Chains A and B, each alone.
Chain A
Amino acid sequence: MKLIKSIVRPNKVDDVKGALEKLQISGMTVTEVRGHGKQKGHTAIYRGQEYNVSLLPKMEIEIVVPDSIVHDAIKAIMEAARTGEIGDGRVFVLPVEETYKIRTGEKEVY
């Protein structure tokens, strides 16, 4: 099992969700986040005065998927979130060692 953590443009969340649902991946955590990557934000001007907008609003989508569909899931996310412009985001893949169901206390080890 892998945890796939994607940072995407806010307006791409629905597209990414749609693409993942096609792979029968429906469980996910979506969080509003702010940050920057290589893009490092930029300086905006409002009424002649500069202000720093280095932390850009992005969305983070987390899913945990079996190893067998990790690559399909990554591909689906990348395709759905891509515009080709700077600021499209990142995908991180992390191994998942164990998970617990809080309701039942059941432990799953991979």
Chain B
Amino acid sequence: MPPVVAAGVSFTLRGAAVRVHNFDYHTGDTFNVMMEPHSTQVEPRHDPRAVRRARLDAACRELVAATERGEGGRAALKQYSHRVDALIQQLFSEAGVAAQAVGVFALGGYGRRELCLHSDIDLLVLFADPIGDPDERFLHAFLNPLWDLGLTVGHHVREVGEGARLADDNPEFILAITDARPVAGDATLLDDFIGATDAARMASRTLDALKALIAERHARFNDTLYQLEPDVKEAPGGLRDLFGALTIAKLTDPVLLSQGGSGPRVLEDAEEFLLRVRSILHHAAKRHNNVLSHELQEEAAERFGYAGATPRQRVERLMSDYFRHARAVDRTLRWALRAAPQPIGPNLVLAGEGVRFLDVRAAADRPETWLAVFVEAIERGRAVSDETLACIQQHAGRFTAEEFLPTPAHRDALLRFLRPRPGLYARLSDMHDAGLLGQMFPEFKAISCRVVRDFYHKYTVDEHTLLTIRNLERLTEAGPDRARFGRLLAELERPELLVLALLFHDVGKWRDDDHASESARLARLMFDRLGLDEDARAVIDFLVVHHLKMSVAAFRRDTEDPEIVRQFADVVGFEERLKLLCLMTLADVEAVGKETLTPWKEELLWRFYVDTYNYLTLAYGDEVIERNQTALAELIAQREPDLSARDIEEFLQGLPRRYLQSFSREAVYRHVRLSRGLPPGAIQAWIERKNSEWELTVLTRDRPFLFSNISGVLSSFGMDILRGFAFTKPDGLVVDMFHFTDKERYLELNPGGDARIVRMLDEVIAGRTDVAARLEGREAGAFRRPLPGFAPVIHCDNESSRRYTIVEIVAENALGLLFRMSRAMSDSGCDVDLVLIATEGRRAIDVFHLTRQGAKLSTAQQQEVIGNLHRVLEGRP
């Protein structure tokens, strides 16, 4: 029997490459190895070094023998790579038991199993967790014997966690890792390592790195492959170019090289030839040499057995073949560089025909990946390829609505996709034509090609619906004639909800009767499926139910009648909904027919919008909650047990009716409870997280400078106040609410930070701390370059309200702005009774309702307030 070698049972069998089952003593795993070539020396049984040396020598001799026959090509190099694999597996098992999961992976040429005689052995050693001292010891025990054998080892040591930053690693490494394959240890670590990074970004980075390296390398050879003494690895048309083309195909489109260039078979021949030459060069030079010098050209021609009477003739034939193969490689690489699609997502590329799946068959069974095609197409301003649309069309019917959007992340992606912007209509139309929209929203299917005969509509219901979305998307690039509506769209907090509402506004037309309520019923079926939050549901429900109200009022009612405006304002409740409904009306009317929305109608709509907006922001103070109001009766009827009808009545009486539209029933009950018996000087305040924003609610009794103190405290903690309001009841009870962002992440990073802000409120309101002093440092840094051509607007209005003088201010938002403005008003002796706060981009739009000693301000007093406001807005003392 042949001798037994370490690390498993192995038989010597001359020249054979037979797979046998082997057993690892340490891990208990079984694995496959190639049978070892015969060693001519007797392997000392008890000297592992000698055994390793003998194994390596035998492997080298095997490769040399093939090389000398001129057969050092793919098969021989693959064999040699297997021998080295076995050696590394042996060293790995002899290095001792690792303290944690570890895997060894072959990279680069070794990863491709094309290891040449004197090539570097590139290894990646991956640890599952952070590397400690025992791991260092393991590493030395594993690597030292490789160095002792005289091998040149290029090793990279990484932790799996570092995979997340892989795309930012050095270009050579990310390129080498495209050929990585497991050799020893835990093979799954590589998937974890690579899986942690964004695949598309990684592929894109790898491609960029590859292109840069190719350009740099070609420049070194003066960008020509016709070298008299070519470097078969580095020169244009050499092995690196060949692997470059293969890598581009691997990263972008596996069938790329069969579609152009020299073709796969010619490329295989070139590879075999170049590898055989390279093996000869390594063997002849006895080192890592890839230059086919004149001297070595003769030897190579000899080994290949070229015909010819003289060495010169033989060399000419060799070089003629070399240039033929190099040209084939060069042609293929150029094709790959030119035609490769750009990876833009998992299984997603951008090609000449647009965005498409890389692997259509794989995509066919992954409906949750389909939306990404349309998202990317919009983001990149490109079409979706016909092949991809055909795939979706063919398979869409196999899946339920839920299967397209299985996780919250998918549902969020859909909402982001629906944000109006150029391309949305075209992509939604693609989705509709491919049957995807109807599968994703089964309610929409019922109106596909639905014809409703009336005097107005020019298109089928589904196309009318999609056109409403196109009209909205066009507003994002509106010219001067539509700029005012474009601004409204830009101001919306969640414009995607408007698109969703438009998508559903006419789905009820599958029936012939009242379609608005049927549309709303169908829209509600979608709410759970999309996991929409309560606010989103309320907005969409409101828009679908009332989608005809504004056009009826604006075009068919006497909009100069204040009662019509008041009634409509009651329906919409607050400004955001007014903007939504106004834009919905514009988009809907325009989608009825090409000439339906005339400039005249636009003007009517805009004026009605402005009148309603002014009513909501300027006149709401006069509309207070009264005893006989339906909403009040409902609140009392459904009250919680610890609250009496009187508690609720007393709390609500005198508050603007807008209060009821601003808070949920639960919030109202909480306010009633906390305000009961609230002594003068006490405050009830709390901060809650609202998605990406925060909300501060304050209940207290009115006193001078109250509003400016509250806004000042928030600013002193670096908070950016976005929206909010302040309501003051005639009996002095104040309900304030502020929505703000915390850019410095104070609340997130400081547990108990909310309590600290509330304590500071208490301190400042009680007069124990001066908020102006706290703000000074911050304000100094907050003044920034003003918006070009943007001067603050201050408008005083004594007409819109019976009870209040209204000051409307539009100014560039800045830290502490509300504090400074409200303080200026209080300094002028005014009571700040009601405030509406809004922010649109960098503009702050604030409306203050003021009184002075219980009455409206006189003209002189208004001038004083305006003067003081200008002073603080301009930063004058």
Which of A's residues lie within 8 Å of B, judged by CB? 9-12, 14, 32-34, 44-50, 53, 57, 83, 85, 87
Alpha-carbon distance A59/B430, docked complex (angstroms): 41
A48-B809, A49-B810, A85-B560 are contacts. A32–B845 as well, Cβ < 8 Å? no
Check B610 for interface membership: any CB of A closer than 8 A.
Answer: yes
Alpha-carbon distance A87/B613, docked complex (angstroms): 22
Complex partner residue of A47 from B555, B598, B793, CB under 8 angstroms: B793
Minimum-distance CB pairs A-B, first 10: A48-B795, A32-B600, A48-B808, A48-B793, A11-B558, A57-B604, A46-B610, A11-B557, A47-B810, A48-B810
Query: Of all chain A residues, which has the CB nearest B796?
Result: A48
Check B794 for interface membership: any CB of A closer than 8 A.
Answer: yes
Check B640 for interface membership: any CB of A closer than 8 A.
Answer: no
Check B614 for interface membership: any CB of A closer than 8 A.
Answer: yes
Check B556 for interface membership: any CB of A closer than 8 A.
Answer: yes
In the assembled complex, which residues on chain A have CB atoms less than 8 Å from the CB atom of B607? 44, 53, 57
In the assembled complex, which residues on chain B have CB atoms less than 8 Å from the CB atom of A34? 600, 603
Query: Of all chain A residues, which has the CB nearest B807?
Result: A48
A9-B558, A85-B560 are contacts. A47–B797 as well, Cβ < 8 Å? no
Q: In the assembled complex, how far is the CB of residue B809 from the closest CB belonging to chain A, in whole angstroms?
A: 7
In the assembled complex, which residues on chain B have CB atoms less than 8 Å from the CB atom of A53? 607
Alpha-carbon distance A85/B564, docked complex (angstroms): 15
Do B808 and A47 touch (CB < 8 A)? yes
Alpha-carbon distance A85/B561, docked complex (angstroms): 9
Do A10 and B795 touch (CB < 8 A)? no
Most buried by B among A9, A45, A49: A45
In the assembled complex, which residues on chain A have CB atoms less than 8 Å from the CB atom of B303? none
Most buried by B among A9, A14, A87: A9
Known: A32-B601, A46-B613, A48-B794. 15 other contacts (CB 8 A): A10-B555, A10-B556, A10-B604, A11-B556, A11-B557, A11-B558, A12-B558, A33-B600, A44-B611, A44-B614, A45-B795, A49-B793, A57-B604, A83-B558, A87-B560
Most buried by B among A12, A48, A83, A85: A48
In the assembled complex, which residues on chain A have CB atoms less than 8 Å from the CB atom of B845? 47
In the assembled complex, which residues on chain B have CB atoms less than 8 Å from the CB atom of A49? 793, 795, 810
Query: Of all chain B residues, which has the CB nearest A12?
Result: B558
Alpha-carbon distance A57/B554, docked complex (angstroms): 11
In the assembled complex, which residues on chain B have CB atoms less than 8 Å from the CB atom of A44? 607, 610-611, 614
In the assembled complex, which residues on chain A have CB atoms less than 8 Å from the CB atom of B809? 48
Alpha-carbon distance A85/B558, docked complex (angstroms): 11
In the assembled complex, which residues on chain B have CB atoms less than 8 Å from the CB atom of A33? 600
Do B614 and A45 touch (CB < 8 A)? yes
Query: Of all chain B residues, which has the CB nearest A33?
Result: B600
Q: Could you give 25 example pairs across A and B, Cβ below 8 Å?
A: A9-B558, A11-B555, A11-B557, A11-B558, A11-B559, A12-B558, A14-B556, A32-B598, A32-B601, A34-B600, A34-B603, A44-B607, A44-B610, A44-B611, A44-B614, A45-B614, A45-B808, A46-B610, A47-B808, A47-B810, A47-B845, A48-B795, A48-B808, A85-B560, A85-B561
In the assembled complex, which residues on chain B have CB atoms less than 8 Å from the CB atom of A50? 795
The bracket for how many chain B residues form the interface is 20 to 34
Contact with A along B557-580 (1 / 0, CB 8 A): 111110000000000000000000
In the assembled complex, which residues on chain B have CB atoms less than 8 Å from the CB atom of A46? 610, 613-614
Alpha-carbon distance A46/B797, docked complex (angstroms): 12
Alpha-carbon distance A53/B614, docked complex (angstroms): 15
Find residues 536-595 in chain B having any chain A CB closer than 8 Å to their own CB: 555-561
In the assembled complex, which residues on chain A have CB atoms less than 8 Å from the CB atom of B558? 9, 11-12, 83
Find residues 604-631 in chain B having any chain A CB closer than 8 Å to their own CB: 604, 607, 610-611, 613-614
In the assembled complex, which residues on chain B have CB atoms less than 8 Å from the CB atom of A11? 555-559
Q: In the assembled complex, how far is the CB of residue B615 from the closest CB belonging to chain A, in whole angstroms?
A: 12
Alpha-carbon distance A48/B604, docked complex (angstroms): 20
Q: In the assembled complex, how far is the CB of residue A55 from the closest CB belonging to chain B, in whole angstroms?
A: 8
In the assembled complex, which residues on chain A have CB atoms less than 8 Å from the CB atom of B601? 32
Alpha-carbon distance A34/B604, docked complex (angstroms): 10
Alpha-carbon distance A46/B845, docked complex (angstroms): 11
Alpha-carbon distance A11/B607, docked complex (angstroms): 14
In the assembled complex, which residues on chain A have CB atoms less than 8 Å from the CB atom of B613? 46
Q: In the assembled complex, how far is the CB of residue A5 from the closest CB belonging to chain B, in whole angstroms?
A: 17
Alpha-carbon distance A45/B613, docked complex (angstroms): 10
Query: Of all chain B residues, which has the CB nearest A44?
Result: B610
In the assembled complex, which residues on chain B have CB atoms less than 8 Å from the CB atom of A47? 793, 808, 810, 845
Find residues 699-732 in chain B having any chain A CB closer than 8 Å to their own CB: none
Alpha-carbon distance A50/B799, docked complex (angstroms): 14
Query: Of all chain A residues, which has the CB nearest B556?
Result: A11
Do A57 and B795 touch (CB < 8 A)? no
Alpha-carbon distance A34/B555, docked complex (angstroms): 14
Alpha-carbon distance A44/B607, docked complex (angstroms): 9
Complex partner residue of B600 from A12, A45, A48, A57, CB under 8 angstroms: A57
Q: In the assembled complex, how far is the CB of residue A51 from the closest CB belonging to chain B, in whole angstroms?
A: 9
In the assembled complex, which residues on chain B have CB atoms less than 8 Å from the CB atom of A83? 558, 561
Q: In the assembled complex, how far is the CB of residue A32 from the closest CB belonging to chain B, in whole angstroms?
A: 4
Alpha-carbon distance A46/B582, docked complex (angstroms): 15
Query: Of all chain A residues, which has the CB nearest B614?
Result: A45
Find residues 495-526 in chain B having any chain A CB closer than 8 Å to their own CB: none
Contact with A along B775-817 (1 / 0, CB 8 A): 0000000000000000001110100000000001110000000
Query: Of all chain B residues, which has the CB nearest A55?
Result: B603
Q: In the assembled complex, how far is the CB of residue A88 from the closest CB belonging to chain B, in whole angstroms?
A: 10
Alpha-carbon distance A92/B600, docked complex (angstroms): 22
Query: Of all chain B residues, which has the CB nearest A31?
Result: B600
Query: Of all chain A residues, which has the CB nearest B609?
Result: A46
Q: In the assembled complex, how far is the CB of residue B481 from the closest CB belonging to chain A, in whole angstroms?
A: 15
Find residues 382-403 in chain B having any chain A CB closer than 8 Å to their own CB: none
Do B808 and A57 touch (CB < 8 A)? no
In the assembled complex, which residues on chain B have CB atoms less than 8 Å from the CB atom of A9? 558, 560
In the assembled complex, which residues on chain A have CB atoms less than 8 Å from the CB atom of B557? 11
Q: In the assembled complex, how far is the CB of residue A60 from the closest CB belonging to chain B, in whole angstroms?
A: 11
In the assembled complex, which residues on chain A have CB atoms less than 8 Å from the CB atom of B561? 83, 85
Contact with A along B328-343 (1 / 0, CB 8 A): 0000000000000000
Alpha-carbon distance A46/B610, docked complex (angstroms): 6
Q: In the assembled complex, how far is the CB of residue A108 from the closest CB belonging to chain B, in whole angstroms?
A: 30
Alpha-carbon distance A33/B844, docked complex (angstroms): 36
Query: Of all chain A residues, which has the CB nearest B603?
Result: A57
Q: In the assembled complex, how far is the CB of residue B608 from the closest CB belonging to chain A, in whole angstroms?
A: 10
Q: In the assembled complex, how far is the CB of residue B810 from the closest CB belonging to chain A, in whole angstroms?
A: 5
Q: In the assembled complex, how far is the CB of residue A35 from the closest CB belonging to chain B, in whole angstroms?
A: 11
Q: In the assembled complex, how far is the CB of residue B652 from the closest CB belonging to chain A, in whole angstroms?
A: 30
Query: Of all chain A residues, which has the CB nearest B797?
Result: A45
Q: In the assembled complex, how far is the CB of residue B830 from the closest CB belonging to chain A, in whole angstroms?
A: 17
Q: In the assembled complex, how far is the CB of residue B220 from the closest CB belonging to chain A, in whole angstroms?
A: 64
Query: Of all chain A residues, which has the CB nearest B552?
Result: A11
Most buried by A among B556, B560, B601, B613: B560
Query: Of all chain A residues, which has the CB nearest B838?
Result: A47
Q: In the assembled complex, how far is the CB of residue A1 from the closest CB belonging to chain B, in whole angstroms?
A: 29
In the assembled complex, which residues on chain B have CB atoms less than 8 Å from the CB atom of A32? 598, 600-601
In the assembled complex, which residues on chain A have CB atoms less than 8 Å from the CB atom of B610? 44, 46
In the assembled complex, which residues on chain A have CB atoms less than 8 Å from the CB atom of B795? 45, 48-50
Contact with A along B818-850 (1 / 0, CB 8 A): 000000000000000000000000000100000
Alpha-carbon distance A58/B810, docked complex (angstroms): 32
Query: Of all chain B residues, which has the CB nearest A86?
Result: B560
Query: Of all chain B residues, which has the CB nearest A9?
Result: B558
Query: Of all chain A residues, which has the CB nearest B607?
Result: A53
Alpha-carbon distance A70/B794, docked complex (angstroms): 53
Most buried by A among B558, B613, B797: B558
In the assembled complex, which residues on chain A have CB atoms less than 8 Å from the CB atom of B614? 44-46
In the assembled complex, which residues on chain A have CB atoms less than 8 Å from the CB atom of B555? 10-11
Query: Of all chain A residues, which has the CB nearest B840?
Result: A47
Alpha-carbon distance A50/B810, docked complex (angstroms): 13
